[in-house]
């Protein structure tokens, strides 16, 4: 049986973008027609809830439930009597280390995202939508702008979409280039022209988001699923997954594998199958020591976890997170301390600087890792790192999830690769270094 | 009331509060940085972490999660632990993290000894430093003459920008960069533009923003002798805590008053007391000799001359709206009410009398500042409050947020959830309409700014009043009719509408129309508020003392010229600021003897036959009546040196010499206050402004010096090794010692805030009834104006002044300046540096018609003044603005119609860069050149 790949069905081998005509020719905008033409927003929401679609940005929060908190009805809550705008925002600020799945969807099939967004916006009755896109994805941004213009011309966007009462304006906004903009409330702050600082919740954006109005922020991949689900139903979507989690997932592998890349596979595909069958296994001469299953801010898993299914719950139970589903492989010739140091320096640099544990704790952790890696470590440093993990690593200790995520590779590296840390300290240098060079 | 459990103890607590403020109110020490009682919570520093348990079972098992006290609402049944290991270790780790890059320069830091960061570090028990990396460092910025910047000390709590931008509306201080490089400063070096920048000194929990005037003349908090005082910079009556050491006033801190200034002062108030240290202060009485020089006298000699001059019986007195009620009362008693002028200018006297009459005869509420903050619709008629009563402007910036609080309540957000509420409300504000001669500093938060000549302002107010009463206003241009309609609708719809006007523009009609609007609102059943701004610290008290029939300066002159009067006693008043030089010369020349009591060498003291050196507000007791009619007592912070004495002491002694029966039973300051209260009905309440001399706290007096006051035995060791007896204070319950108790004292007597473990001003909550609430000992001051009086219809006729239609003529309108328009604060070096040179502002079309451009000179009237031209297109048509009280404008009078012409032979002033000698700027300045306004002999630091 050939696999069903709804998200990447328009992705061509040469990665050339699919234009509106080609998109329509391949059944495009049928989901939108179904939604706007036949279904009420409440119907759409119900299908979404039934489908068990979970957020593909990393947290895995059930999408339907998230949307159900948006105030609905003729006059959504607005104490000031302001025009009751609601917003849908696509989070296309893909900056998680090792993650490149959204880029594939954005560059190869922009209309899929737009159709998904229109259906999502229709479901929550948003009248303005933004695509908040990573500045480096300028090619995708240009394609999206073109696609939006084409849709406006075609009546898929703008006033009275497909002759209905529903109207939607869509904008592309290029990010200023901070990792923290991927956090939904920091993204909203940034979109408002403010410092990209996350916001405390509650109130949640569903109630008080962009410009203080009800707002939904979803990841690119999540939104790309929406119209497929509306068009083909919750049961179809559920049937795509191999385990309890529904749908397909874009999985990626980077590191010393023969064929690094990104593939749409059924949700719950075993890790080993992704690494060995699709990524072609390890490069010759390299052995797998561990992997970050879902980007830079997830805990290491090791060889014993290779037969686990890549879904939210299974990976969670193993002590990590599926995150974005794009794995980074640690091989046996790369120094785990240097690997973690590199990541920690990234996260420390990308801290918005708002709360203390993240702003000052991450640079401290990076400093300790740098000391260990460069032969200046002392045995107490491992205690310091462990304390930092407990201090920074828990959600709630910090203002947002950046720092807890950043500590995940450190805490799991201390668990799985502790001997490597000790060898650095005992030998006053990096054992992976060759004459001082990595 | 929710019931919560903290460390096994159950407390009944106030609903709607967060856990941090609840803990502090309960007396539990929970460390914090970013939260501020006036600014609420944002959850940035993570210092107030506690452990919350889901239920009793998890409490038993000690399985709780870390939550931030400041972000956690108190809910019934909630279980917390402050003292458990998990919470303690977390809080300790926070301080350790905050200290990674801190320079540990406490010995050379101006904050040392009153540093919240020091206190919190000790409180959490952090001692051992584990971090071995390098510290980040920053460059500091020159931020003007008021604020010293030392960015390396920053712990990134965001309080500064939250205060400066969110609370005070400033735009030129921001959080810049990110991660552990966050920098709080300006985009480029330069003077901070907010009139409220000085509060950064108290808002910053460490030594990033410190008081530059203190840094340059430094003393630790523990070595400051201080006493409760009242700001003399304007009529608001903010409560202050000036601190002294070695006979110099070192700094002014905020003294909390829940109803008046709360936690914040304006920069005139904080930095405007520097004149106390001026070398222009008089130290001895002086008798003018025939050659015009003065002979220094001992006080006995001075009194001898004074009583001789006063024995003629033909004595007149000119009081002062910047002197205390008591000193004015004594002078009035000495000369008799018929011979006593209150000391206002001819233009100002009827305006202040009117302001008092309108408030006395009003059904409206006369609001304190806390009530102003609660206003949900505001109309300002004419007054530029940022420059005349600055603390009110700061309050108005909070009042426009009432819309946001309304929206927040709809979502179930509490008022302390600051970030959430700002994100929700964005730019939604309660209505604030401003009609003034030009845009004011509140323009950015106003619903609408209307530029109108004073007559137009009054006409608009009258129209609003008519519309509220359901009448159609007459003779109003259509665009104003529309505005008036909107304003009337907004005020009518509000629950707590507020009208603000005042004497600042010199227009009686504006105040009358404001009163008419409140009257119309009251008639419609609204709880309207009326706030009328008067110019000086005791203007209103002076009007209460003298009444509307008191003679003015011109009357006294005429009577002296007729021989009816021959001796003039001037109390703390530089008359040359009250009228043109010619008119004051004539006034003084009409008397054969002129006795002047004042603290500062000025044009009036230089014209006196006898000068008596008078103590400043910081060296004497006094009662001042603020613009809301609040009588407040200030106390001497230190005693004046040499032969400088409080005015009331001079006057009382003179009257004793004269054996005047009225003062036979007056021996102490309190006796004067009592006598004044008994004799002047409007001031009957002033004895209740503060406890009298006999008040004792648990049997002892209240110390002006904190327990850690040091070096008293060594202060004079260069002259004598014997410790001098501390001076005794025979006039108040305060003592010039460190012995005594400062606990639960009346609010009016609080000399400093300090509590065990809380060395900084954050210790204030230990003196409050609850966090943010009034002082435990009660709010200082007593209100003399009782609201709800029936209105007298006679007061409500609106007389409008219109701009001249005559070409080549303009209506002169005064613009007040926070830095420069006030007499005494302008003599403080830091304020003087910020004061601008005089100018005449014109609309660009008017400037073009006169053939002048900015920087050119323009002559007003018959050589009344020659000033540089400024262009302000927000000015009302037909108006030319000049800065009131600034050099070169002495002969210009409000609402005069004058001809303007281009000045010939005008030399454009050089471009001046304000600077206190910031290192790079100093390098660029020619040797010997001193920045404008720098203190003579102050030198570069």
Taking contacts as CB-CB distances below 8 angstroms, the residues of chain B near A192 are 426
Cβ within 8 Å of residue B702, ≥6 positions away: B733, B734, B735, B740, B741, B742, B745, B749, B751
Task: Provide the chain A residues 160-199 that lie in CB contact (below 8 A) with chain B.
Answer: 178, 192, 195, 199
- Confidence band, pLDDT 50/70/90 cuts, at residue B726: confident
B11-51 pLDDT per residue, tens? 999 999 999 999 999 999 999 999 999 999 999 999 999 99
CATH topology of domain B351-540: Dimethylsulfoxide Reductase; domain 2 (3.40.228)
- The CA distance from A26 to A34, in Å, is 16
Listing DSSP states for B267-325 in one string gives HHHHHTTGGGG-TTB--S-EEE-TTS-EEE--HHHHHHHHHHHHTTS-EEEE--TTS-H
Is the Cβ pair B420, A202 closer than 8 Å?
yes
Residues of chain A with CATH 3.10.20.600: 248-331
Q: Say if A37 is an interface residue toward chain B (CB within 8 Å).
A: no
Q: Which residues contact A44 (CB under 8 A, 6 or more apart)?
A: A35, A119, A122, A123, A230
Looking at residue B711, its pLDDT comes to 86
- Can you tell me the mean pLDDT for B366-392? 97
pLDDT of residue B905: 87
Q: Residue B907's pLDDT is what? A: 86
pLDDT for res B769 = 95
- The answer on pLDDT for B914 being more than 90 is no
How many interchain CB pairs under 8 A, A with B? 125
Q: Is A411 helix (H, G, I), strand (E, B) or coil?
A: helix
The CATH number of domain B3-98 is 2.40.50.140: no
Min distance B29 CA to chain A CA atoms (Å) = 20
CB atoms within 10 A of CB A346: 17
Q: Where are the domains of chain B?
A: 3-98, 286-346+552-689, 351-540, 809-902, 910-941
Question: In the predicted model, what is the mean pLDDT of residues B792-804?
Answer: 55
Average pLDDT on B880-899 reads 91
pLDDT at A344 over 90: yes
Say how far apart CA B74 and CA A234 lie, in whole Å.
Answer: 42
**A352 reaches B (C-beta below 8 A):** yes
pLDDT at res. A343: 97
- Asked whether the beta carbons of B189 and B63 are under 8 A apart, the reply is no
Per-residue confidence at B97, pLDDT binned at 50, 70, 90? very high
Q: Taking phi first (over 0 means left), then psi (-120 to 50 degrees means alpha), and beta for anything else, what does residue A58 get?
A: left
Average pLDDT estimate for A189-213: 94
Those residues whose C-beta lies under 8 Å from the C-beta of residue A130, and which sit 6 or more positions away, are: A87, A88, A89, A90, A170, A171, A172, A173, A191, A210
State the sign of the Cα–Cα–Cα–Cα dihedral B655, B659, B660, B664. positive
Q: What is the 3-state secondary structure (H, E, C) of B803-850?
A: CCCCCCEEEEEEECCCCCCCCCHHHCHHHHHHCCCCEEEECHHHHHHH
Q: Residues B11-36, buried b or exposed e (16+ Cβ, 10 A)? A: bebeeebbbbbbbbbeebebbbbbbb
Q: How many helices (H) and strands (E) does chain B have?
A: 27, 36
Interface test with A, best of B65, B180, B411 (most A CBs within 10 A): B180
Between positions 363 and 382 of A, the ones with CB within 8 A of B are: 363-364, 367, 371, 376, 380
* Cα gap A202→B412, rounded to integer Å: 10
* pLDDT averaged over every residue in chain A: 94
pLDDT of residue B804: 61
Higher pLDDT, B98 or B911: B98
Question: Most B CBs within 10 Å: which of A202, A360, A364, as the mutation test of the B interface?
Answer: A360
pLDDT band at B789 (very low <50, low <70, confident <90, very high): low
**Residues of chain B above pLDDT 70, percent:** 94
Mean pLDDT within B809-823: 94
Q: Is the pLDDT of residue B922 over 50?
A: no
**Distance between CA atoms of B833 and B820, rounded to whole angstroms?**
9
Question: Looking at the partner chain, which of B65, B98, B419 has a beta carbon nearest the beta carbon of A199?
Answer: B419
Quickly state the pLDDT bin for B805 (edges 50, 70, 90). low
B105 contact partners, CB below 8 Å, separation of at least 6 = B152, B153, B207
Q: What is the pLDDT of residue A91?
A: 97
Q: What confidence tens digit (pLDDT) does each residue in B182-239 have?
A: 999 999 999 999 999 999 999 999 999 999 999 999 999 999 999 999 999 999 999 9
pLDDT of residue B797: 56
User: Are the C-beta atoms of A325 and A94 separated by less than 8 Å?
Assistant: no
**Does B646 score more than 50 pLDDT?**
yes
CB contact under 8 A, B423 and A199: yes
Position A81 scores a pLDDT of: 56
Least CB–CB distance from B46: residue in A207, A363, A397: A397
Of chain B, the end-to-end C-alpha distance in Å amounts to: 56
CB A381 within 8 A of CB A425: yes
Whether A359 and B182 lie within 8 Å, measured CB to CB: yes
Nearest Cα residue to B230 out of B222, B218, B238, B220 = B238
A197, A353, A369, A395: which to substitute to probe chain B, counting the most B Cβ within 10 Å? A353
Which tens digit of pLDDT belongs to each residue from B552-584?
999 999 999 999 999 999 999 999 999 999 999
Q: Which CATH architecture has domain A336-426?
A: Up-down Bundle (1.20)
Query: If you compute the radius of gyration of chain A from its CA atoms, what whole number of angstroms results?
Result: 22
Q: Is A360 on the interface with B (CB under 8 A)?
A: yes
pLDDT at B933 over 50: no
Contact at CB, B93 and A391, closer than 8 angstroms: yes
**pLDDT bucket at B863, cuts 50 / 70 / 90:** confident
Smallest CA–CA distance from B93 into chain A, residue: A391
**Predicted confidence (pLDDT) at residue B817 exceeds the cutoff of 80:** yes
How far apart, in whole angstroms, are the C-alpha atoms of residue B628 and residue B512?
17
- Residue in B170, B196, B173 with CA at minimum distance from that of residue B184: B173
Work out the pLDDT band at B940, boundaries 50, 70, 90: very low
Class of domain B809-902: mainly beta
CB contact under 8 A, B94 and A356: yes
- Strand B857-860 versus strand B839-842 pairing type: unpaired
Q: Residue B382 pLDDT > 80, yes or no?
A: yes
pLDDT (tens digit, 9 = 90+) per residue, B662-704? 999 999 999 999 999 999 999 999 999 999 999 998 899 999 9
Per-residue pLDDT band for A407 (boundaries 50, 70, 90) equals very high
Residues of B in contact with A354 (CB under 8 A): 44, 158
The reported pLDDT for the residue numbered B912 is 55
Task: Work out the burial of residue A298: count CB atoms within 10 Å of its CB; fewer than 13 is exposed, 13-18 middle, 19 or more buried.
Answer: buried
Domain A248-331 has CATH 3.10.20.600: yes
Does the beta-carbon distance from B420 to A396 stay under 8 Å?
A: no
Write down the mean pLDDT value for chain B.
92
pLDDT of B923 above 60: no
Residues in A closer than 8 angstroms to B158, CB to CB, are 354
Number of helical (H) and strand (E) elements in chain A, helices listed first: 17, 8
For an interface test with A, which of B97, B129, B137, B401 has the most A Cβ atoms less than 10 Å from its Cβ? B97
Torsion of CA A42, A44, A49, A50, to 10 degrees: 110
Please determine, for residue A166, whether its predicted confidence score (pLDDT) is greater than 90: yes
Q: Could B66 and A80 be called an inter-chain contact, meaning their C-beta atoms sit closer than 8 Å?
A: no
What whole-number distance in Å separates Cα of residue B664 and Cα of residue B660?
Answer: 7
B43 with A399: Cβ contact below 8 A = yes
Report the CATH number of the A20-240 domain: 3.40.50.11540
Residues A278-312 have pLDDT tens digits of 999 999 999 999 999 999 999 999 999 999 999 99
Residues of chain A within CATH 1.20.1440.230 domain(s) are: 336-426
The partner residue sitting opposite B46, judged by closest CB among A79, A82, A355, is: A355
The pLDDT of residue A76 is: 55
pLDDT at position B931 is: 42
Residue A394 forms contact with B (CB below 8 Å): yes
Tell me the chain A residues in contact with residue B179 when contact means C-beta distances shorter than 8 Å: 348-353, 359, 362-363
What class is the B286-346+552-689 domain? alpha beta
The answer to whether B351-540 and B809-902 have equal CATH topology is no
Residue among B47, B133, B413 whose CB faces A203 most closely: B413
Asked if A159 has any chain B CB less than 8 Å from its own CB, the reply is: no
Segment B426-454, tens digit of pLDDT: 999 999 999 999 999 999 999 999 999 99
**Does B411 contact A77 at a Cβ distance shorter than 8 Å?**
yes
């Amino acid at each position: 049986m050939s696999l069903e790949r709804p998200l990447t069905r328009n992705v061509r081998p040469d990665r050339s973008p699919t234009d509106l005509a080609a998109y329509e020719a391949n059944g495009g905008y049928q989901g939108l027609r179904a939604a706007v033409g036949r279904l009420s927003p409440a119907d759409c929401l119900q299908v979404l809830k039934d489908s068990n679609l979970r957020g593909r940005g990393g947290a895995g929060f059930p999408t339907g439930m998230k949307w159900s908190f948006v105030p609905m009805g003729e006059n959504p809550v607005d104490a000031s009597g302001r025009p009751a705008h609601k917003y849908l925002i696509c989070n296309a600020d893909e900056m998680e280390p090792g993650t490149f799945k959204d880029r594939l969807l954005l560059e190869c099939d922009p209309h899929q995202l737009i159709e998904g967004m229109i259906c999502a916006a229709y479901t929550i009755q948003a009248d303005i939508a933004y695509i908040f896109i990573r500045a480096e994805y300028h090619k995708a941004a240009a394609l999206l702008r073109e696609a939006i213009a084409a849709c406006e011309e075609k009546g898929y966007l703008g006033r009275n979409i497909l002759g209905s009462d529903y109207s939607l304006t869509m904008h592309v906004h290029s990010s200023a280039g901070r990792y923290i903009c991927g956090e939904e409330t920091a993204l909203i702050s940034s979109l408002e022209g403010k410092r990209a600082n996350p916001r405390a919740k509650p109130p949640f954006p569903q109630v008080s988001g962009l410009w203080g109005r009800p707002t939904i922020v979803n990841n690119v991949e999540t939104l790309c699923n929406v119209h497929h689900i509306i068009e083909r139903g919750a049961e179809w979507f559920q049937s795509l997954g191999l385990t309890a989690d529904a749908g397909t997932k874009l999985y990626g592998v980077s590191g010393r594998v023969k064929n690094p890349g990104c593939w749409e596979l059924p949700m719950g595909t075993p890790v080993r199958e992704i690494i060995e069958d699709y990524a072609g296994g390890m490069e010759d001469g390299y052995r797998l020591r561990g992997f970050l299953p879902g980007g830079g801010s997830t805990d290491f898993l090791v060889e014993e976890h290779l037969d686990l299914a890549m879904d939210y719950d299974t990976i969670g139970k193993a002590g990590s997170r599926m995150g974005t589903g794009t794995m980074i492989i640690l091989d046996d010739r790369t120094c785990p301390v240097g690997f973690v140091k590199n990541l920690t320096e990234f996260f420390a640099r990308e801290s918005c600087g708002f709360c203390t544990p993240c702003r000052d704790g991450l640079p401290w952790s990076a400093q300790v890792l740098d000391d260990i890696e460069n032969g200046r470590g002392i045995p107490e440093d491992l205690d310091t790192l462990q304390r930092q993990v407990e201090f920074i690593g828990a959600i709630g200790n910090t203002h947002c999830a950046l720092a807890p995520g950043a500590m995940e590779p450190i805490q799991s590296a201390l668990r799985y690769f502790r001997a490597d840390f000790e060898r650095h300290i005992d030998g006053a240098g990096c054992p992976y270094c060759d004459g001082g060079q990595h | 009331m929710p019931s919560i459990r903290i460390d096994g103890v159950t407390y009944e607590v106030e609903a709607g509060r967060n856990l941090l403020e609840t803990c502090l109110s309960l007396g539990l020490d929970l460390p914090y940085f970013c939260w501020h009682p006036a600014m609420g919570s944002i959850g940035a520093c993570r210092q107030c972490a506690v452990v919350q348990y889901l239920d009793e079972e998890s409490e038993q098992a000690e399985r709780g999660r870390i939550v931030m006290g400041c972000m956690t609402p108190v809910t019934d049944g909630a279980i917390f632990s402050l003292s458990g290991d998990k919470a303690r270790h977390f809080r300790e780790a926070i301080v350790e993290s905050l200290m990674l890059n801190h320079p540990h320069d406490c010995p050379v830091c101006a904050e040392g000894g009153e540093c919240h960061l020091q206190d919190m570090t000790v409180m959490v028990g952090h001692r051992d430093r584990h971090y071995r990396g390098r510290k980040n460092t920053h460059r500091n910025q020159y931020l003007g003459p008021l604020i010293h910047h030392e960015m390396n000390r920053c712990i990134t709590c965001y309080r500064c920008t939250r205060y400066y931008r969110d609370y005070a509306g400033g735009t030129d201080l921001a959080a810049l960069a990110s991660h552990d490089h966050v920098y709080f400063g300006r985009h480029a070096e330069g003077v901070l533009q907010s009139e409220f920048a000085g509060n950064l000194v108290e808002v910053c929990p460490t030594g990033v923003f410190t008081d530059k005037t203190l840094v340059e003349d430094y003393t630790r908090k523990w070595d400051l002798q201080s006493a409760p005082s009242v700001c003399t910079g304007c009529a608001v009556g903010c409560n202050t805590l000036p601190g002294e050491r070695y006979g110099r006033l070192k700094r002014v801190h905020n003294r909390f008053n829940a109803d008046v200034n709360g936690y914040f002062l304006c920069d005139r108030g904080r930095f405007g007391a520097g004149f106390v240290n001026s070398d222009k202060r008089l130290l001895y009485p002086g008798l003018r000799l025939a050659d015009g020089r003065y002979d220094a006298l001992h006080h006995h000699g001075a009194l001898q001359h004074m009583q001789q001059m006063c024995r003629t019986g033909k004595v007149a007195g000119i009081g002062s709206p910047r002197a205390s009620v008591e000193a004015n009362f004594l002078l009035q008693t000495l000369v008799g009410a018929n011979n006593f002028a209150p000391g206002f200018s001819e233009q100002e006297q009827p305006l202040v009398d009117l302001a008092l009459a309108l408030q006395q005869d009003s059904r409206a509420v006369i609001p304190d500042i806390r009530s102003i903050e609660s206003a949900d619709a505001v109309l300002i008629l004419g007054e530029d409050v940022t420059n005349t009563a600055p603390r009110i402007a700061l309050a108005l910036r909070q009042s426009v947020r009432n819309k946001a609080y309304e929206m927040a309540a709809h979502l179930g957000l509490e008022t302390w959830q600051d970030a959430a509420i700002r994100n929700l409300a964005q730019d939604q504000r309660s209505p604030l309409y401003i009609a003034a001669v030009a845009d004011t500093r509140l323009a950015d938060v106003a619903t609408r700014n209307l530029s109108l000549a004073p007559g137009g302002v009054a006409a608009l107010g009258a129209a609003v009043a008519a519309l509220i009463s359901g009448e159609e206003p007459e003779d109003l241009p259509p665009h104003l009719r529309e505005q008036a309609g909107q304003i009337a609708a907004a005020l009518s719809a509000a629950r707590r509408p507020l009208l603000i006007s005042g004497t600042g523009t010199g227009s009686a009609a504006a105040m009358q129309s404001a009163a008419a609007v409140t009257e119309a609102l009251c008639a419609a059943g609204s709880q309207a508020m009326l706030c009328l701004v008067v110019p000086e610290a005791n203007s209103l008290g002076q009007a209460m003392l003298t009444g509307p029939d008191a003679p003015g300066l011109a009357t006294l002159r005429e009577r002296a010229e007729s021989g009816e009067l021959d001796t003039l006693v001037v109390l703390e008043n530089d008359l040359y600021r009250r009228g043109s030089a010619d008119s004051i010369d004539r006034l003084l020349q009409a008397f054969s003897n002129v006795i002047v009591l004042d603290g500062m060498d000025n044009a009036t003291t230089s014209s006196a036959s006898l000068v008596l050196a008078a103590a400043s507000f910081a060296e004497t007791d006094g009662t001042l009546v603020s613009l809301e009619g609040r009588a407040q007592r200030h106390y001497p912070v230190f005693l004046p040196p040499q032969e400088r004495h409080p005015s009331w002491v001079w006057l009382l002694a003179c009257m004793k010499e004269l054996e005047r029966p009225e003062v036979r039973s007056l021996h102490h300051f309190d006796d004067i206050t009592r006598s004044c209260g008994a004799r002047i009905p409007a001031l009957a309440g002033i004895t209740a402004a503060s406890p009298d001399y006999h008040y004792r706290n648990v049997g002892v007096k209240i110390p002006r010096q904190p327990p850690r006051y040091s070096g008293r035995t060594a202060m004079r060791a260069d002259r004598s090794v014997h410790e001098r007896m501390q001076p005794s204070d025979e006039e108040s319950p305060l003592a010039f010692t460190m012995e005594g108790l400062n606990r639960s004292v009346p609010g009016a007597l609080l000399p400093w805030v300090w509590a065990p473990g809380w060395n900084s001003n954050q210790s204030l909550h230990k003196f409050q009834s609850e966090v943010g609430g009034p002082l435990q000992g009660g709010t200082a001051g007593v209100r003399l104006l009782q609201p709800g009086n029936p209105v007298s219809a006679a007061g409500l006729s609106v007389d409008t002044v219109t701009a001249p239609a005559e070409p080549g003529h303009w209506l002169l309108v005064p613009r007040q300046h926070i830095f420069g328009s006030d007499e005494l604060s302008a003599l403080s070096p830091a304020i003087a540096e910020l004061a601008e040179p005089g100018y005449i502002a014109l609309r660009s079309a008017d400037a073009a018609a006169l053939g002048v451009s900015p920087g050119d000179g323009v002559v007003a009237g018959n050589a009344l003044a020659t000033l540089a031209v400024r262009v302000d297109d927000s000015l009302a048509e037909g108006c030319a603005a000049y800065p009131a009280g600034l050099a070169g404008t002495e002969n210009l009078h409000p609402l005069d119609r004058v001809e303007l012409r281009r000045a010939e032979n005008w030399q454009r002033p050089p471009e001046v860069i304000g600077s206190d000698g910031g290192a790079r700027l100093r390098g660029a300045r020619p040797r010997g050149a001193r920045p404008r306004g720098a203190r003579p002999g102050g030198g570069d630091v």
